[in-house]
Amino acid sequence: MTGRRIVSLWLPRFPMALWERAQAKAPRQELAPWETAETGPDPDAPLVLAVEGTHGSVIHAANDAAQAAGAMPGARVVDARAICPELQVAPADLAGDAEALRRLVHWVRRWCPWSAADGADGLVLDTTGSDHLWGGEDAMLADMAARLADLGQEVRLAVAPTHGAAWALARFGDGREICGGDALRARLAMLPVGALRLDGETRLVLRRLGLKRVGDLMLIPRATLERRFGRDGKALTTPLRRLDQMLGTLPEPVVSPAPARRFRTIRRLAEPVMDPQPLLPEALGALCADLAAAGQGLRGLRLELFRADGHATRIEVGCAQANRDPAHLIRLTARHFEELDAGFGFDMLAAEALRPEPLAAAQVRLDGGIDAEVAVATLIDRLAARLGRDAVQLPDPQESHLPERAEGWTPAIDALKGRRADLLAPGGLGGGGMVAPRRDRPVRLLRHPERIKVLYAVPEGPPVRFEWRRKPYLIRRHQGPERIAPEWWRARPGTRMRDYYKVEVEEGARYWLFREGLVSDGRGGDPEWFLHGMFA
């Protein structure tokens, strides 16, 4: 047995906890007069996160209510809905979960210098020689659990001499275990064979052979296991190999990924200065030179100005796309120096690149100008620096067939990436024109549909007269209906469908109306009418 100490962290609710935390931080939109709280997801209702599978959507994660109702990860969504009709479904963000786990790998290095991801919902740390800094292994595990709980993550932890043993105890043990020495072998023998990190087919074969616990495999001669499951180097997950890794007879090092490179320059001054702006070209030039040498650009810049009395001032600006032009970065930070309190002067300046991204060298045009996409990004940067990050926004299309949900707004400094072709196409932001509206949709869409009072309506047809904002209207022509059903994966039971009509009133104005519900749909009382938009 080795003298190493390995900690395994298992986050059983990792994707769902991330989703719930994001929902809690998301700004709550004000409900329109026609909306009710039932149109949004109920936090206490069964909810699952789904991914696309070979035969339809598959459950990736489920909350406690969904698991209690029988919706388990790996099952198809349609099968789960058959046993739980009120099941709420939201799309899983696999890329976002992977990025969050990558950041968490570096975050846990507060406890030890070596850490790595362990699957899609776990971490492994080599804490050999580090536990005394925290008052022992028990205190260290308690600190880990408390800090992860602050992040909304439920965690199961275990410390053992090997990675395999720690992994098994974290998932099949008591939730927080410290094991080692002579008691380790006896403790591992009590665990099921699933604790050996085997694939589903191998576990099925072991169960059919009557081998249900790790101790059952320990009693079988090694030659027998080699003949049945193999022992060559290509078979990386055979029971014998996993058993050797668990017991420490086969090494399994923790491969810790290197942290991302940090681009930062520091300038220490011999004498304090009252105005640090003349120092920016040299500092930012050195920073941008380092970025260019690495083929990187920055999406954000942080300036730290340290006064002689110890006070520090921090300035942060953002870029719509990766940039390493010192002159542009100096212009973005200019307004922050207008009311800067110099005190007794500044004696140190630090510049750091935030969110570095790959940026290839670009050739300048023959006329000495710059590309249109660079001009758009530069304009957005300067407007956002002057007016504020949230003051400059771009439309953000959403995957929804409900008109009020099909488009939102996102800060332009965040939304420009990946949308250059749309912005620079004819009629886009860089093309100098206007985006042509769809002919079947109104030019102006109200932020929230407004309820109208129908004075007379044809059964299952459009109204003949209606009143909107205390003014009556007589309909001369109409077209429709266009039926839009509720989004079953988002709406709660009882949400009613809509029938949209294009109408032209006596004065010549054209409106977009819809009737919510039908008399015979069995989902409420009489249908209600709303006005949603106006045509040109």
Report the first-to-last Cα separation within the chain, whole angstroms.
Answer: 80
Rounded to an integer, what distance in angstroms lies between the CA atom of residue 318 and that of residue 336? 13
For the chain, give the number of residues: 536
Strand partners, 46: none
Rounded to an integer, what distance in angstroms lies between the CA atom of residue 419 and that of residue 430? 12
Residue 32: alpha-carbon gap to chain centroid: 27
pLDDT in tens, 280-331: 999 999 999 999 999 999 999 999 999 999 899 999 998 988 899 999 999 9
Question: Looking at per-residue confidence, does 376 or 264 come out higher?
Answer: 264
Strands (E), 63-175: 88-91, 114-117, 122-126, 156-160
Highest mean pLDDT among 13-22, 173-182, 484-493, 522-531: 13-22
Sequence letter at residue 340: L
**Helical segments of 219-325, H only:** 222-229, 239-247, 280-293
pLDDT in tens, 114-161: 999 999 999 999 999 999 999 999 999 999 999 999 999 999 999 999
pLDDT in tens, 458-494: 777 778 899 999 999 999 999 988 999 887 766 666 7
pLDDT at res. 346? 94
Confidence of residue 109 (pLDDT cuts 50, 70, 90): very high
Contact 215, 190 (CB under 8 A): yes
Q: For residue 261, give both structure tokens.
A: 């490179």
**412-417 — which CB contacts under 8 Å span 24+ positions?**
412/320, 412/380, 412/383, 412/384, 413/318, 413/319, 413/320, 413/380, 413/381, 413/384, 413/389, 416/320, 416/321, 416/376, 416/377, 416/380, 417/320, 417/321
In a 10 Å sphere around its CB, with 0-12 CB exposed, 13-18 middle and 19+ buried, how is residue 393 labelled?
middle
pLDDT in tens, 402-452: 888 887 778 888 766 555 444 444 444 444 433 445 667 888 888 889 999
pLDDT at res. 410? 82
Contact 267, 261 (CB under 8 A): no
pLDDT at res. 365? 62
Mean of the per-residue pLDDT values of the chain: 85
Q: For residue 479, give both structure tokens.
A: 């077209």
User: Can you give the pTM of this predicted structure?
Assistant: 0.69
Contact 500, 513 (CB under 8 A): yes
